[in-house]
Amino acid sequence: MDNDDSLEESQGSTRMVKGKRGVIWGNAETSALIKIWGEAEIKYALSSLKRNYKIFEMISTELSKIGFSRSAEECRTKTKSLRKLYKQAVLHNNTSGSGRSKFIWFDEMAQILRKDTSIHPLRTTESESAAETDPSESTNYEATLDPARRLAMLQKKKQRASAAARLDNTLSGFVNWVQKNTESKNNRRNARE
């Protein structure tokens, strides 16, 4: 075996240090990476910053604290790979007639990426008329959502209905006020004549 294919022992899992296609991550390392990635501060920082290398350095540091030696670049590459595999699994699972994907990190990745619109678009437009419809009214669309997202959509529907009712009450109150004022002005004008 040459240096490019040397193996190293890391917390009971053998991994390839450097090969032609990069490094191989063990399940324990991947699980630790996903756990760190799933922390609220990390998720927020990665989603809001375009230049996020420092965040991957933090992830690398956190991994090293629990015994896994990975560079920031390796962490970045692995998160991109996991994201791509999750997106492929979502597309596969949403394809009619195909069985469930066997991506082992699916549930963990779903927790991290459930609000990512590049994976779970809020609406898909096939035509201009489709763009005008509310995606939450489509039963096919709702079937693809995870329960937390479905609940959030239902809450938004209730909020919109409540706001619409308040607006209707306000408008009808305004219309009544205008009518009363108009009647008062007419009555005063008639009384003067």
Residue-wise pLDDT tens digits, 98-144? 777 788 888 888 888 876 655 555 555 554 444 444 544 444 555 56
C-alpha 177/C-alpha 164 separation (Å) is 20
Q: Which two tokens stand for residue 84?
A: 């791509």
C-alpha 42/C-alpha 36 separation (Å) is 7
Residue 16: predicted pLDDT: 44
Query: Of all residues in the chain, what percent carry a pLDDT higher than 90?
Result: 22
Q: Where are the domains of the chain?
A: 1-121, 134-193
Which of 14-23, 51-60, 86-95 reaches the highest mean pLDDT?
A: 51-60
Instruction: Give the H/E segment covering residue 111.
Output: helix 106-113
Name which residue leads in pLDDT, 72 or 154: 72
**SS3 letters for 116-134?**
CCCCCCCCCCCCHHHHHCC
Beta strands 7-10 and 13-16, pairing class: antiparallel
**What global pTM score does this model have?**
0.52
What backbone torsions phi and psi does residue 22 show, to the nearest 5 degrees? 105, -150
C-alpha 48/C-alpha 133 separation (Å) is 29
